[in-house]
A = this chain, B = another copy of it.
Amino acid sequence: MRRDPWQALADPTRRQIIEVLSKSPQTVNTIAENFAISRPAISKQLKILEKSALVTIEKQGRERVCTLTLAPLQEVQIWVQQYEAFWLKKLDKLDDYLKKEG
Task: Tell me the A residues contacting B by CB distance below 8 Å.
Answer: 4, 6-7, 9-10, 12, 15, 18, 22, 70, 73, 76-77, 79-81, 83-84, 86-87
Selected contact of A83 from candidates B4, B73, B79, B81, CB within 8 Å: B73
Jot down 13 A-B pairs with beta carbons below 8 A, ordered by A. Answer: A4-B10, A4-B12, A6-B9, A7-B10, A70-B83, A70-B86, A73-B80, A73-B83, A73-B84, A76-B76, A77-B81, A77-B84, A80-B80
A33 → chain B closest CB, angstroms: 21
Q: Please tell me if the beta carbons of B6 and A79 are within 8 angstroms of each other in the complex.
A: no
Q: Given the known A-B contacts A6-B10, A10-B7, A15-B6, are A80 and B76 also in contact in the complex, defined by CB atoms under 8 Å?
A: yes
